[in-house]
């Protein structure tokens, strides 16, 4: 007995729309089982995980802080994935954006007194992320290298580079030998939105503006059309006169720039300085955000909030229920698994094939004569 | 999962296959509606019908790849249920597909071995294949690599693979669509020999002349229903066509001008190109000029460089020397497809889905696909931002749909939801609507039903009458004789001189198609 996936002649539009919600419900059910197996009360654990973070104003601010980079990176990745370019290295582009943006306050601390400091840093951060994303883009366009591997491997290069910087040349001499760079001051700090009630900063506004702009780009402009055509059918894209290489660079540079902007926003806002680790895996979680949001920038805003909740809920559950913080990763993994499984089952159905049947099915190879 | 046997109703002697009331429903579409089909032992039975008439669905049910919703299949008088191709083969039903399922990087014998259940060594299979190929007059070297073989030879592998399983019924799906007239003649001899041995053949074709020539009986399908069982030899091509389409087929009207004095609108000079991959054809020093007001046909067996030629002319593959391709006397060799479109050229590729159209996109999006630059003023706004003006695109789409009589189920359906013929009418209409001064079309009516094909051919003729130049690449000689003013033949990446239609005969063209073919092996 073996399983086969058979393509459905038509896929249900209704279930396509419901898929993220079904996936979320399945994740919650699987989470309940997970907590029960750990010997915790599923009801209390799930309440701590998904409801408690929403009950006070302070943690809504934290939600915005976590959602901002997820949305910003997620909408960029959506453009990549729609054009069939698999940028898995947003985490590295996030780090490099933070490093390049931080050059200004660290190397020229005096410039932090200028009101232009922040816009210049943000621009440098975006350029840094884009430049780092240009590496896998170039390798793919020029040598047909698999971008999944190259962009993923470059994540570790970026992380180790940051680690070296903050332990070596950029270490703050006044930091009692802690591996961290000097704290940003003055105009180099990302302003807070409503300082009275919490520490959310204007990063969430960048995320919302980027989501709206990319939604317009993808649904209303020729560039968005070009990206979708190349993603769906490269041969038809060439017939239309669209450049596949152009789409590789466009999508990688755009998603790299947004990841870099998220990176510099994170260090100049929520963290306030460079340190060995500046991300709890935003660049990877944003892949889940992109798919949970159905690669639609507006859907990604909602998905970003859900994923942000898994981070916050993990912290609460750790404190109140006493589960490991690894449960956050487990939840995120479950969510991605269920989203992809739902999407697969919308397009395919499972067929049980009895094993006694010899493998006599004709090979499916097509000869393009 | 075995074959279910049940006591069948009264046997009709000599009947190999008796299909009664077979029905298949896809959603709201009844693809096969109570189809009856009887095939006697030792007969060649034709299955006729337009595209979308339900031929493929019927055959898939007979070969076990689709399960019927209703009806019964009697094999040698016993009711059977065919659940998979394996079961069909064990019953004695073999099939030769229209699109071959062969691995190019393996040898003929290895490909045959792959489809057999047994663990017979490949050397034994090769010997058996060789023996069969000799006894049925199907010359084939089992050790040759499929990638090096012509389409006709590949078909022979499929036929031998099928014969090795000693079937009683062989289903052939459009077998001659890829053959030269000479190769087709050889195939007919093989089929007649098989009939002589008492084997039955179900022969699926659009080509009425062939059906009349070799088939004993015919079953005609239209819109999923059997409209006639007849003896094709007692019918005329016209009466068979009327049964298929349910009305008179529109004849293409044209007069061949004695000679064309129009300005050269597209000139190809010494076009050469290295092969792009191991199974791609080079182009060897091709020169061709097409003038205003004429149709030049490019004949040839599939895979002799026509696809590469189309890409080189359309600008999907650009040339180093600008003068290699000239459109309206402007050097265009280094321009991409967009630049050539802006010079007034239009292109219709062979593959409708995935080349000429994006399958999962709406017709209006597919309108924008080919015309986003040439119609930028109408279709796009907002300057460099390029905002899509949906209303303008939808209006143009509607105009093309009406002009070409594209039949569709929704207001603006996805391209993949249209039948092949209707999508082809849309893709050709999309170019014609621009009134291109040069139109290059690859296989305009491949897999398109007779009614749509006639409409497309007439539209091409009308375009040349209005002063444009048209290149039609086609494997269908009947089509080229119908619409071309001159015909050139492509074989192994070379193009012959053009032959004026008045001096062209099928034999002459067929020899050019096949002559170069044998020359290379």
B12 vs chain A: nearest CA distance in angstroms? 32
Which of B87, B148, B386 to mutate to probe the A interface, most A CBs <10 Å? Answer: B386
Q: Which residue has the tokens 């280094």?
A: B334
- In this structure, what token pair is assigned to residue A14? 């209704």
Q: Tell me the C-alpha distance between B508 and B192, whole Å.
A: 26
In this structure, are residues A363 and B115 in contact, taking their beta carbons and an 8 Å threshold?
yes
Cross-chain Cβ contact A236/B386 below 8 Å: no
- In this structure, what token pair is assigned to residue B468? 């444009």
Closest CA to B161 of B205, B226, B106, B209: B106
Q: Which fold has domain B264-519?
A: Rossmann fold (3.40.50)
Task: Please list every residue in chain B whose beta carbon sits closer than 8 Å to the beta carbon of residue A367.
Answer: 100-104, 146, 154
pLDDT at A357 over 60: no
| Averaged pLDDT, A194-218 | 94
pLDDT at A96 over 90: yes
Q: Tell me the C-alpha distance between B201 and B192, whole Å.
A: 10
Q: Tell me the C-alpha distance between B456 and B472, whole Å.
A: 12
Q: Tell me the C-alpha distance between A203 and A191, whole Å.
A: 9
Q: Tell me the C-alpha distance between A201 and A186, whole Å.
A: 15
Residue of A nearest to B151 (CA): A369
The CATH number of residue A249's host domain is 1.10.3470
Closest CA to B314 of B283, B335, B291: B335
pLDDT in tens, B159-176: 888 888 889 999 998 787
Neighbours of A242 (CB within 10 A): 24
Please tell me if residue A228 touches chain B, with a CB cutoff of 8 Å.
yes
In this structure, are residues A147 and A140 in contact, taking their beta carbons and an 8 Å threshold?
yes
Cross-chain Cβ contact B1/A366 below 8 Å: no
What are the DSSP calls for B322-367, one per residue? GGGEEETTEE-TT--HHHHHHTTEEEE-S-TBTTTB-TTSBHHHHH
Closest CA to A19 of A339, A357, A238, A365: A339
A270 vs chain B: nearest CA distance in angstroms? 34
Residues facing B96 on adjacent strands: B172
| A251 falls within a domain | yes
B108 vs chain A: nearest CA distance in angstroms? 13
pLDDT for res B1: 38
Residues facing A2 on adjacent strands: A353
Cross-chain Cβ contact A239/B347 below 8 Å: yes
What percent of chain B is helix, strand and coil (3-state, nearest 5)?
Answer: 40, 25, 35
- Write down the ipTM of this complex: 0.82
Least confidently predicted of B12-16, B197-201, B222-226:
B12-16
Q: Please work out, in degrees rounded to the nearest 5, the angle formed at the alpha carbon of residue A57 by the alpha carbons of A55 and A58.
A: 105
What pairing do the DSSP bridges indicate for beta strands B438-442 and B469-473? parallel
Give the start-to-end residue ranges of the domains of chain B.
Answer: 15-92+167-245, 264-519
Cross-chain Cβ contact B101/A363 below 8 Å: yes
pLDDT in tens, A301-336: 999 999 999 889 888 888 888 888 788 888 888 988
Please tell me if residue A54 touches chain B, with a CB cutoff of 8 Å.
no
Residue of B nearest to A353 (CA): B1
Residue B131 class from Cβ within 10 Å (0-12 exposed, 13-18 middle, 19+ buried)?
exposed
Q: Tell me the C-alpha distance between B43 and B193, whole Å.
A: 11
What pairing do the DSSP bridges indicate for beta strands B345-348 and B486-491? unpaired
pLDDT for res A7: 76
Q: Tell me the C-alpha distance between B181 and A79, whole Å.
A: 50
Residues of A (185-204) whose Cβ lies below 8 Å from B = none
Closest CA to B136 of B190, B182, B180, B96: B190
A190 vs chain B: nearest CA distance in angstroms? 30
Q: Please work out, in degrees rounded to the nearest 5, the angle formed at the alpha carbon of residue A295 by the alpha carbons of A293 and A296.
A: 75
With pLDDT > 70 as the criterion, what percentage of chain B qualifies? 90
Q: Tell me the C-alpha distance between B126 and B109, whole Å.
A: 5
What pairing do the DSSP bridges indicate for beta strands B486-491 and B295-299? parallel
- The enclosing H or E element of B194 equals helix B181-196
| A21 falls within a domain | no
Residue A257, CA atoms < 13 Å, CB-side half-sphere: 12
Please tell me if residue A367 touches chain B, with a CB cutoff of 8 Å.
yes
| A235 falls within a domain | yes
- In this structure, what token pair is assigned to residue A187? 């105009």
Please tell me if residue A366 touches chain B, with a CB cutoff of 8 Å.
yes
pLDDT at A85 over 70: yes
Pick from A188-202, A246-260, B243-257, B446-460 the range whose average pLDDT is largest: A246-260
CATH superfamily, domain B15-92+167-245, is: P-loop containing nucleotide triphosphate hydrolases (3.40.50.300)
Helix ranges, A168-242 (H):
203-220, 222-232, 234-239
Q: What backbone torsions phi and psi does residue B40 show, to the nearest 5 degrees?
A: -85, 165
B52 vs chain A: nearest CA distance in angstroms? 16
B305 vs chain A: nearest CA distance in angstroms? 10
End-to-end Cα, chain A, rounded Å: 36
pLDDT for res B278: 65
pLDDT at B244 over 80: no
Q: What backbone torsions phi and psi does residue A213 show, to the nearest 5 degrees?
A: -60, -45
pLDDT for res A140: 96
- In this structure, what token pair is assigned to residue B46? 């034709």
A293 vs chain B: nearest CA distance in angstroms? 20
pLDDT in tens, B68-117: 999 999 999 899 998 888 889 889 999 887 666 788 888 888 888 887 76
| A57 falls within a domain | no
DSSP label of B408: -
Its domain, for residue A233, covers: 67-330
Please tell me if residue A173 touches chain B, with a CB cutoff of 8 Å.
no
Task: Please list every residue in chain A whose beta carbon sits closer than 8 Å to the beta carbon of residue B387.
Answer: 220-222
In this structure, are residues B459 and B348 in contact, taking their beta carbons and an 8 Å threshold?
no
Cross-chain Cβ contact B386/A239 below 8 Å: no
Please name the residues in contact with B339: beta carbons below 8 A apart, sequence gap of 6 or more: B315, B332
- In this structure, what token pair is assigned to residue A61? 């601010």
B303: alpha, beta or left? (left if phi > 0; alpha if psi -120 to 50)? left
What is the number of structural domains in chain A?
1
pLDDT in tens, B442-486: 999 876 777 788 889 999 999 999 999 999 999 878 889 889 999
Least confidently predicted of A192-206, B25-39, B236-250:
B236-250
With pLDDT > 90 as the criterion, what percentage of chain B qualifies? 39
How is the beta sheet containing B70-75 ordered, strand by strand?
B29-40, B15-26, B70-75, B78-80
Cross-chain Cβ contact B355/A232 below 8 Å: no
What pairing do the DSSP bridges indicate for beta strands B217-222 and B225-230? antiparallel
- In this structure, what token pair is assigned to residue A199? 């520490």
Q: Tell me the C-alpha distance between B393 and B368, whole Å.
A: 7
pLDDT for res A367: 40
Task: Please list every residue in chain B whose beta carbon sits closer than 8 Å to the beta carbon of residue A12.
Answer: none
Neighbours of B515 (CB within 10 A): 14
Task: Please list every residue in chain B whose beta carbon sits closer than 8 Å to the beta carbon of residue A223.
Answer: 386
Residues of A (272-311) whose Cβ lies below 8 Å from B = none
More confident residue, B502 or B53: B502
pLDDT for res B139: 78
Least confidently predicted of A80-94, A225-239, A251-265, B45-59:
B45-59
Cross-chain Cβ contact A236/B358 below 8 Å: yes
Helix ranges, B232-283 (H):
237-245
Please tell me if residue A233 touches chain B, with a CB cutoff of 8 Å.
yes
What pairing do the DSSP bridges indicate for beta strands B29-40 and B200-204? unpaired
Q: How many CB pairs (< 8 A) connect A and B?
A: 114
Q: How far is CA A66 from the centre of its chain?
A: 11
Nearest CB to A240; choose among B370, B380, B382: B370
Q: What backbone torsions phi and psi does residue B337 show, to the nearest 5 degrees?
A: -65, -35
| Averaged pLDDT, A80-94 | 97
What pairing do the DSSP bridges indicate for beta strands B225-230 and B295-299? unpaired
In this structure, are residues A263 and A74 in contact, taking their beta carbons and an 8 Å threshold?
no
pLDDT at A366 over 50: no
B1 vs chain A: nearest CA distance in angstroms? 8
Cross-chain Cβ contact A225/B341 below 8 Å: no
Neighbours of A101 (CB within 10 A): 32
Kindly state the greatest CA–CA separation across chain A.
77
Least confidently predicted of A209-213, B56-60, B139-143:
B139-143
Q: What backbone torsions phi and psi does residue B287 show, to the nearest 5 degrees?
A: -130, 135
Domains B15-92+167-245 and B264-519 share a fold: yes
Closest CA to B187 of B199, B174, B198, B197: B174
DSSP label of B320: S
Q: Tell me the C-alpha distance between A75 and A301, whole Å.
A: 8
A255: alpha, beta or left? (left if phi > 0; alpha if psi -120 to 50)? alpha
pLDDT at B8 over 70: no
Q: Tell me the C-alpha distance between B23 and B19, whole Å.
A: 10
| Averaged pLDDT, A346-350 | 84
Which of A8, A84, A231, A241 to mutate to probe the B interface, most B CBs <10 Å? Answer: A241
pLDDT at B198 over 80: yes
| pLDDT tier for residue A76 given thresholds of 50, 70 and 90 | very high
- In this structure, what token pair is assigned to residue A31? 């989470």
Q: Please work out, in degrees rounded to the nearest 5, the angle formed at the alpha carbon of residue A369 by the alpha carbons of B506 and B133.
A: 75
| A50 falls within a domain | no
Cross-chain Cβ contact A360/B373 below 8 Å: no
Please tell me if residue A2 touches chain B, with a CB cutoff of 8 Å.
no
Task: Please list every residue in chain B whose beta carbon sits closer than 8 Å to the beta carbon of residue A238.
Answer: 316, 337
Q: Assign B270 to helix, strand or coil.
A: strand
What is the length of chain B?
Answer: 521
Q: Tell me the C-alpha distance between B186 and B192, whole Å.
A: 10
In this structure, are residues B458 and B250 in contact, taking their beta carbons and an 8 Å threshold?
yes
pLDDT for res B488: 95
Pick from A252-256, B24-28, B443-447, B487-491 the range whose average pLDDT is largest: A252-256
- The enclosing H or E element of B472 equals strand B469-473
Cross-chain Cβ contact B84/A354 below 8 Å: no
Q: Tell me the C-alpha distance between B234 and B219, whole Å.
A: 14
Cross-chain Cβ contact B116/A235 below 8 Å: no
Please name the residues in contact with B273: beta carbons below 8 A apart, sequence gap of 6 or more: B282, B283, B308, B312, B317, B319
Residue A273, CA atoms < 13 Å, CB-side half-sphere: 17
Task: Please list every residue in chain B whose beta carbon sits closer than 8 Å to the beta carbon of residue A233.
Answer: 354-355, 358-360
Task: Please list every residue in chain A whose beta carbon sits closer than 8 Å to the beta carbon of residue B358.
Answer: 229, 232-233, 236
């Amino acid at each position: 007995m073996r399983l086969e996936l058979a393509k459905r002649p038509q896929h249900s539009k209704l279930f396509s729309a419901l898929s993220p919600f079904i996936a979320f419900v399945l994740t919650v059910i699987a989470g309940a089982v997970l907590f029960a197996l750990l010997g915790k009360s599923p009801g209390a654990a799930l309440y701590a995980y998904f409801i408690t973070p929403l009950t006070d104003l302070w943690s809504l601010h934290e939600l915005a802080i976590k959602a901002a980079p997820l949305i910003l990176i997620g909408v960029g990745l959506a453009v990549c994935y729609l054009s069939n370019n698999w940028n898995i290295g947003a985490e590295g582009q996030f780090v490099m954006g933070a490093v390049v943006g931080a050059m200004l306050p660290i190397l020229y601390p005096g410039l932090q007194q200028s009101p232009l400091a922040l816009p210049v840093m943000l621009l440098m951060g975006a350029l840094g992320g884009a430049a780092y994303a240009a590496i896998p883009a170039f390798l793919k366009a020029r040598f047909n290298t698999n971008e999944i591997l190259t962009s993923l491997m470059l994540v570790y290069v970026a992380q180790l580079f940051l680690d070296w910087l903050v332990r070596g040349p950029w270490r703050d001499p006044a930091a009692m030998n802690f591996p961290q760079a000097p704290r940003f001051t003055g105009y180099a700090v990302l302003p807070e939105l409503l300082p009275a009630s919490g520490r959310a900063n204007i990063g969430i506004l960048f995320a919302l503006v980027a989501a709206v702009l990319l939604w317009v780009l993808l649904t209303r402009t020729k560039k968005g059309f070009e990206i979708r055509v190349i993603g769906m059918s490269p041969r038809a894209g060439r017939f239309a006169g669209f450049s596949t290489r152009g789409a590789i660079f466009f999508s990688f540079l755009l998603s790299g720039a947004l990841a870099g902007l998220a990176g510099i926003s994170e260090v100049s806002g929520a963290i306030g300085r460079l340190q060995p680790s500046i991300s709890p895996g935003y660049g990877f979680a944003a892949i889940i955000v992109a798919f949970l949001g159905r690669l639609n920038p507006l859907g990604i805003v909602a998905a970003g909030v859900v994923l942000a909740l898994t981070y916050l809920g993990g912290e609460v559950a750790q404190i109140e229920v006493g589960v490991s913080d690894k449960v956050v990763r487990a939840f995120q993994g479950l969510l991605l698994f269920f989203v992809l499984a739902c999407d697969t089952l919308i397009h395919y159905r499972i067929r049980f094939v009895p094993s006694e049947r010899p493998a006599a099915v004709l090979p499916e190879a097509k000869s393009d004569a | 999962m075995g074959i279910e046997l049940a006591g069948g109703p009264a046997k009709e002697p000599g009947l190999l296959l008796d299909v009664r009331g077979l029905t298949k429903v896809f959603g709201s579409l009844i693809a096969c509606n109570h189809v009856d089909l009887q095939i006697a032992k030792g007969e060649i039975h034709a299955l006729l019908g337009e595209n979308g008439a339900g031929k493929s669905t019927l055959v898939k049910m007979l070969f076990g790849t689709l399960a019927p919703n209703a009806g019964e299949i009697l094999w040698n008088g016993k009711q059977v249920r065919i659940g998979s191709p394996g079961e069909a083969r064990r019953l004695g039903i073999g099939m030769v597909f229209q699109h071959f399922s062969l691995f190019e990087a393996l040898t003929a014998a290895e490909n045959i071995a792959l489809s057999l259940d047994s663990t017979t060594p490949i050397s034994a299979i090769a010997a058996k294949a060789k023996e069969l190929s000799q006894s049925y007059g199907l010359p084939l070297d089992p050790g040759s690599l499929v990638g090096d073989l012509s389409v006709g030879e590949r078909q022979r592998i499929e036929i031998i693979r099928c014969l090795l399983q000693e079937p009683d019924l062989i289903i052939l799906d459009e077998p001659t669509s890829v053959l030269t007239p000479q190769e087709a003649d050889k195939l007919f001899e093989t089929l007649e020999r098989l009939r002589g041995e008492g084997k039955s053949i179900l022969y699926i074709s659009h080509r009425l002349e062939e059906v009349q020539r070799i088939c004993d009986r015919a079953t005609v399908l239209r819109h999923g229903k059997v409209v006639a069982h007849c003896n094709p030899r007692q019918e005329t091509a016209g009466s068979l066509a009327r049964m298929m389409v349910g009305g008179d087929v529109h004849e293409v009207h044209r007069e061949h001008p004695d000679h064309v004095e129009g300005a050269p609108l597209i000139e190809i000079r010494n076009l050469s190109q290295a092969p792009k991959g191991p199974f791609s054809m080079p182009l060897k020093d091709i020169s061709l000029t097409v003038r205003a007001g004429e149709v030049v046909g490019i004949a040839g067996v599939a895979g002799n460089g026509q696809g590469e030629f189309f890409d080189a002319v359309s600008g999907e593959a650009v040339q180093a020397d600008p003068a290699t391709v000239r459109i309206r006397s402007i050097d265009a060799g280094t321009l991409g497809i967009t630049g050539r479109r802006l010079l007034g050229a239009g292109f219709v590729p062979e593959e409708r889905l995935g080349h000429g159209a994006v399958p999962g996109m709406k017709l209006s999006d597919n309108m924008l696909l080919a015309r986003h630059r040439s119609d930028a003023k109408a279709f796009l706004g907002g300057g460099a931002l390029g905002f899509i003006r949906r209303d303008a695109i939808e209006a143009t789409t509607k105009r093309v749909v009406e002009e070409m009589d594209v039949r569709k189920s929704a207001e603006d359906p996805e391209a993949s939801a249209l039948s092949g013929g209707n999508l082809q009418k849309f893709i050709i209409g999309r170019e014609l609507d621009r009134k291109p001064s040069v139109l290059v079309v690859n296989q305009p009516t491949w897999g398109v039903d007779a009614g749509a094909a006639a409409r497309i051919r007439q539209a091409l003729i009308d375009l040349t009458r209005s002063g444009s130049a048209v290149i039609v690449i086609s494997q269908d000689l009947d089509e080229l004789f119908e619409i071309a003013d001159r015909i050139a033949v492509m074989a192994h990446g070379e193009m012959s001189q053009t032959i004026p239609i008045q001096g062209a005969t099928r034999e002459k063209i067929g020899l050019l198609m096949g002559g170069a073919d044998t020359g290379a092996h």
